[in-house]
Structure 1
Amino acid sequence: MIFKGGTGKTTLAVHLAQYLALRGYRVLLVDLDPQASATTLFGLNPSQDVADDATFYGHVSGDRRFAELPIETYWPGLDLVPANLALALTDFEIAGRAKLQASLPIHDYLRRGLDEVRENYDVILLDCRPDLGMSTLNALVAASGIFVPVTMSQLDIASMGEFFRFSAFLLEQLHELGVEESHLDLDFVRLIVNRFDPGQAAQAQCHHWMLARMPDQVVRTTMLQTAALGHAGSQWQTLYEYEPDEGRRRAYNRALEALDALCLDLETILWGAWGRRSLPNRNRQPQESVADVTA
C-alpha cells in the first residue's frame, strides 16, 4: 500500500511496479485514486478508455468479480486495475450497501477481492487515494505493509503524523468490532523521503530530525529532487522509459541511479516481510533500459 497525496506517491508506485517487473516479479498495480494518474501513465484515458465497472468501484457495486479487473499493460509482467472518476463514488456505495446488508463488512471488499487473484502475482501494489475514507480503510485491511512517501517540509511531516494517528484510530475501532487480528497486522510501515534536495538546509534539517526520531521507520535511501522526473513526466513516461537527449544524459543517469537504489531498498524490505534473508538473483541489472530487457 502506498499512501499520501501531494508527495509523488503515484510516481513512486508506478516506478516501483516497473522496477519489480524488470526484476522478474509478477506485479499487479491497483489504482484506487479517482484522479487515475497511474492509469494515465500507462497510456489510458480514464474518461474514455476505462469503463466505470472496470475499476474497483465495479467490484464494490457488484457488477464485476475482482478477478475480471486486472488488465495487461505494455510493460511485461505488470498488470493494472485501472481507475477513473467513478472511484469517487466508492465510499457512498459501500455505505449504502452497509445499510442494506448489515452483515457485510465495510472494510473487507478489497481484501476479499484480492483473494481472487493473489496466486497470480508475487507483489500487489495499492496506489491509494489521498484521504482516509472507505476505500483507504479497505486498503489498510488488505495491505501487508505500507510505504508512505513524505517530503522534507514541516507541513508535510505534520500531515504525516495526522495520517498515522487517524489510521491507528481506525484500526483500533476495527479491532473493537471484532475484525480478525490477522487482517489488521502489518509486516512493515516505512517512510520514504521523496523529492529530497540535500542542499536545502531546511530539508536537510527535517531529514536529520526524522532519522533521529524514527530510525527504524525511515528508509535510508532517498529519492532526490530531479528535473529528469519532470522531463520524463512531461512526455507521460517514467525514468525507465524516458530517453534523454545528450544534454540531459548526466542528470538522467544520476536520477536513475538514485531510483534504482531506492527501489532495491524497498525490494529488500519486501523480502524481509516474506521472511527471506537475501534477494533473489533476478535477471535485471541496475540501469538497464526497458529496451535492453524486452529485446
Structure 2
Amino acid sequence: MTLQQVSMEDLDHLAATAADVLAQVRDAMVEPHPRKLAPTFTSVAIADLCGIDKSQVKYLTQKHELPSGRKIEGSKAKEYTLEDAIQWVQKIGGRPRRGLETPGKVLAVCNYKGGVAKTSTSMALAQALTLRGLKVLIIDCDGQGTATQLAGISPEQDVDIDQTIMPYIYGDFPDLQYAVQNTYWHNLSVIPASSGLLAAEFALPAKAMEQRGFKFWEVLKNGIEPLRKEFDLIVIDTSPSLSHLTVNAMIAADGLLMPCPPDALDFASSVQFWGIFSELIDGLPDAKQKRYDFISIVYTKVQANEISRLVKTWMKQAYGAHINGIEIPDSTAARTASAQLKTIYDLSKPDGSIEAYRRYKEPLDRLADYVLDQLAVSWSKA
C-alpha cells in the first residue's frame, strides 16, 4: 500500500465539501424558515407546570384573565403557546422569584472533556427554567457553536464575529449588552458563538502582556454585570477545555455545574479538570477569594450496568456533597431530539417511546428544580 499524502489544498477541499454537506443536511432538517418553532402545550401540561389540577384551569383562566388556549380543529382539546404557558406559570405557579433590586445569577456549565452532554444539558436547563418563570440568557463560549445551533441560529450561516463576545474582548464595547439576541423560545435569549471565538485565546493573553495589571480572567465577569439586571439567570456554555474563556466563565459564575458520565475515563478527566483549575487560581491575584453559591456534579449518559454503579461510588467518594444525585440516562429520546437539533423540551409530545421520553425528561426537570432552589437561597441572601 502506497502512502497517499494530503496537501493543505486537499484539506481545504475536504473542509469545504464537508461544510457544504452539513449545510444541506441542516437546511433539510430546519425547513421551513424560521428554523425552529417553540412547542405547544395541552391543558394537562399547563396544569402540570403550575402544580394544579386540570379541573381548575377554566376557573383560573377567568379569575386571572389568563390565556385560554386555542381550540384544536376536530378536537375538544385546546393548545397553548409557549408564551401562554410561561404567563400561566408566572401567575399561578408559585415558583421562587427574584426581587426587583436583586441581581440575576450566573451559572457556568463546564467539563474538560467533550461528549458528556454539557451543551444539551445547558440548553435543556435554560428552557426548563423559563418554564418555571425565569428570564434566561445563554452565553455560548464554545467556538463550535452547538448551543447557538440549539438556540435556532446557525453559527456558520447566521453569526458574524461582530455578534459574538469578541468585539467586547477587543475593547469595542463597554459590556455585552450589544450581543444579546432573542430566540424562538420565549424568555430565552442568547449571545451566539462562531469559530471566531478561537481568537479570544490570543487576544486575552496579548492584552495581559500589553497592559500592566490587566486581569484577563475577569473580562467576562465585567461584561456580564449589566445583564444581571435584565436576566434572572445567565447560563454560560463553555468549551471542553480549560481555555482562557472557560476560566473567565468560571470566575464570572456564582455557581458551577459539571455534567459527567459515570465512566472511568470521564471521571479521571473531571478530577484532572478540578486539579488544573485549582492550580490556575493559585496564580491569579485575588482569585483565591472567589466564593461560589454552589458547585454541583450531575451524572449524565448513565447506563444501567455494573461499571456505572462502580464509578458512581468513586465519584461520591471524590465529590461528596457536590454530587446532587440526579441521574440523566443515556437515552434514545435524547439522541432522537439531538438528531433534529432539538432538546427534549422542544417536543410538544414524545417522539417515539413515551417511557423513554419520560425517563429522560424527569431528571432534567429535577435538575431545573434543584438549580431554582439554589437560586432562591442565594436571592434571599442578596
Q: TM above 0.5, one fold?
A: yes
For 1:94, which of 204, 215, 230 is the aligned residue?
A: 204
Tell me the distance in 2 between the aligned counterparts of 1:127 and 1:178: 24
> CA offsets, 1:204-235, max 9 Å, x none?
11112322443301011111111001101111
Q: Report what 1:40 is aligned to.
A: 149
Cα drift, residue 245 of structure 1: 6.2
CA spacing shift, 1:246–1:46, aligned 2, 3 Å: closer
For 1:17, which of 101, 121, 126 is the aligned residue?
A: 126
Shifted more, 248-257 versus 127-136: the winner is: 248-257
Q: Report what 2:291 is aligned to.
A: 185
Tell me the distance in 2 between the aligned counterparts of 1:14 and 1:208: 28
For 1:151, which of 261, 270, 287 is the aligned residue?
A: 261
Which ranges in structure 2 are unaligned for 5 or more consecutive residues? Answer: 1-107
Q: Report what 1:220 is aligned to.
A: 325
Secondary structure of 1:221 counterpart? strand
Shifted more, 55-64 versus 23-32: the winner is: 55-64
Which ranges in structure 1 are unaligned for 5 or more consecutive residues? Answer: 277-295
For 1:3, which of 88, 102, 110 is the aligned residue?
A: 110
Cα drift, residue 262 of structure 1: 2.5
Preserved CA contact (<8 Å) 2:255 2:294: yes
Letter in 2 for 1:35: Q
Preserved CA contact (<8 Å) 1:26 1:122: yes
Bigger-Rg structure (1/2): 2
Cα drift, residue 260 of structure 1: 1.2
Instruction: State the TM-score, normalizing by the size of structure 2.
Output: 0.68
2:222 is equivalent to residue 112 of structure 1: yes
Q: Report what 2:343 is aligned to.
A: 238
Q: Report what 2:355 is aligned to.
A: 250
- Structure 1 stretches of 4+ moved >3 Å: 243-247, 272-276
Letter in 2 for 1:106: F
Tell me the distance in 2 between the aligned counterparts of 1:196 and 1:273: 30
> CA offsets, 1:61-85, max 9 Å, x none?
1234411011111111111010000
Preserved CA contact (<8 Å) 1:27 1:79: yes
Preserved CA contact (<8 Å) 1:222 1:262: no
CA spacing shift, 1:41–1:247, aligned 2, 3 Å: closer
Preserved CA contact (<8 Å) 1:223 1:262: no
Letter in 1 for 2:110: F
Among all aligned residue pairs of Structure 1 and Structure 2, give the percentage whose two residues are the same amino acid.
Answer: 29
Letter in 2 for 1:164: W
Cα drift, residue 249 of structure 1: 2.3
Q: Which has the higher strand share?
A: 2
Secondary structure of 1:132 counterpart? coil
Tell me the distance in 2 between the aligned counterparts of 1:269 and 1:23: 14
Secondary structure of 1:28 counterpart? strand
Secondary structure of 1:23 counterpart? coil
Tell me the distance in 2 between the aligned counterparts of 1:179 and 1:167: 11
Cα drift, residue 118 of structure 1: 1.1
Secondary structure of 2:256 counterpart? strand
Secondary structure of 1:44 counterpart? coil
Tell me the distance in 1 between the aligned counterparts of 2:344 and 2:300: 15
Shifted more, 143-152 versus 205-214: the winner is: 205-214
For 2:187, which of 54, 77, 83 is the aligned residue?
A: 77
Q: Report what 2:308 is aligned to.
A: 203
Q: Report what 1:160 is aligned to.
A: 270
Tell me the distance in 2 between the aligned counterparts of 1:60 and 1:163: 25
Preserved CA contact (<8 Å) 1:53 1:63: no
For 1:26, which of 135, 138, 142 is the aligned residue?
A: 135
Letter in 1 for 2:183: T
Tell me the distance in 2 between the aligned counterparts of 1:121 and 1:100: 34
Cα drift, residue 270 of structure 1: 2.8
For 2:159, which of 46, 50, 53 is the aligned residue?
A: 50
Preserved CA contact (<8 Å) 2:182 2:189: yes
Cα drift, residue 272 of structure 1: 3.3
Preserved CA contact (<8 Å) 2:119 2:147: yes
Preserved CA contact (<8 Å) 2:281 2:287: no
Q: Which has the higher contact order (CA 8 A, sep 6+)?
A: 1
Tell me the distance in 1 between the aligned counterparts of 2:378 and 2:311: 28
